[in-house]
Amino acid sequence: MRTLSQIVAHAFKDEDNRLLMASSPLVFMHLAALGVFFTGFSWVALVALAVTYVTRVFALTAGFHRYFSHRSFKTSRFFQFVMAWVGTSSAQLGPMWWAANHRHHHQHSDKEEDIHSPVIKDAFWAHVGWILCRAYSSIQHDRVKDLNKYPELRFIDRFHILPVLSLVGLLYGIGAGLNYYFPALGTSGLQLVMWGFFLSTVLVYHVTFCVNSVTHIIGKKRFETDDESRNSWWVALLTFGEGWHNNHHRWPLSARQGMYWWELDLTYYMLRGLEKLGLVWDLKVYPKKIYAEATAQEKGA
């Protein structure tokens, strides 16, 4: 007679891979986010939600994506560590795991080998299903040899729970302190954890996951790429510029993804601000030939 765990594993079997259900951290995060209904609302909690959302979306888009995955700008080893730590607090594993899978995606975009293509499989798989799959839980070190030389990055990827716990601890400490010294604010340690970590993390999950799913299904194609990448203004708005996905797939090396002023790319503007502070430098942008190609495509449309 089969055990319950065997029945669950069999029920959620996709080809040769078993989905990590039941105790999945992703499922837990969504359930825990419901805690906001029990800890109540405060303006401090709303600020915590906004700050942790903006900070971590930027760490993922500028750090995990444009820097670790595509090396579209340069920075110091210290700020590289900061981006890695803050990005990992989003509970999307570490920068090496993230970059290795993303580089593989670009190499095989919307082909059979693509691990999260909604074209080859379906939107649910591209959005979240592949993350639950055991086959993609390990780091493909051969794809991130440039990152593997940094022991601090290997440490973060191995102990990726530490940045998560550090954020939870920071939020709880701030909430508890405010509750003790300024009780009129109506906040608490648990409330800030629920709003600033759990709810914020779930929101960060889904806006970043939309880049894998939505922007390969819905939107416009400025360039005739060999995949189904598309530009989506509303995904760009939620992800600080990542929705200009067809632009990005045409020239992945650019730190700027919105090509024109009306293509809002907050991550790039924030990087320009950090450039003025000397924290990042050598930001790559689209070359003139790409703009010329875009103009030719629009005239021929």
pLDDT at 97 over 90: yes
Instruction: Identify the band that residue 300 occupies on the pLDDT scale cut at 50, 70 and 90.
Output: low
Picking from 247, 208, 244, 203, the residue whose alpha carbon sits closest to that of residue 224 is 247
Picking from 231, 278, 296, 280, the residue whose alpha carbon sits closest to that of residue 258 is 231
pLDDT in the model for residue 301: 61
Picking from 150, 153, 143, the residue whose alpha carbon sits closest to that of residue 82 is 153
Helices (H), 240-301: 245-250, 266-276, 288-300
Average pLDDT value for residue range 198-211: 96
* Residue 7, φ and ψ in degrees, nearest 5: -65, -45
Q: Which residues pair with 75 in a beta bridge?
A: 280
∠211-132-162 over CA atoms, to 5°? 85
Q: What is the mean pLDDT of the chain?
A: 90
Query: Token digits for 266?
Result: 């907050």
Over residues 37-54, the pLDDT tens digits come to 999 999 999 999 999 999
Range name among 93-107, 119-133, 168-182, 218-232 with the lowest pLDDT average: 119-133
- Type of residue found at 62: A
Secondary structure class of 263 (helix, strand, coil) = coil
* Residue 244, φ and ψ in degrees, nearest 5: -80, 60
pLDDT in the model for residue 131: 82
- Which residue reads 């990152």 in tokens? 147
pLDDT in the model for residue 255: 97
Residue with the bigger pLDDT between 301 and 89: it is 89
| Helix 161-181 with 77-88: angle, nearest 10 deg | 80
Q: Using the 8-state DSSP alphabet, how is residue 89 labeled?
A: T
Secondary structure class of 214 (helix, strand, coil) = helix
Secondary structure class of 164 (helix, strand, coil) = helix
Secondary structure class of 300 (helix, strand, coil) = helix
pLDDT in the model for residue 135: 66
pLDDT in the model for residue 90: 96
CB under 8 Å to 123, separation ≥6 — which residues? 213, 214, 217
pLDDT at 130 over 90: no
pTM of the model: 0.90
The CA distance from 79 to 85, in Å, is 10
- Give 54: exposed, middle or buried? Use CB within 10 Å, 0-12, 13-18, 19+: middle
For the stretch 189-211, what's the b/e string if a residue is b when 16 or more beta carbons lie within 10 angstroms of its beta carbon?
Answer: bbbbbbbbbbbbbbbbbebbbbb
∠167-82-30 over CA atoms, to 5°? 35
Task: Count the helix, strand and coil residues of the chain and give each as a percent rounded to the nearest 5.
Answer: 65, 5, 35
- Type of residue found at 214: V
Instruction: Identify the band that residue 128 occupies on the pLDDT scale cut at 50, 70 and 90.
Output: confident
pLDDT in the model for residue 297: 83
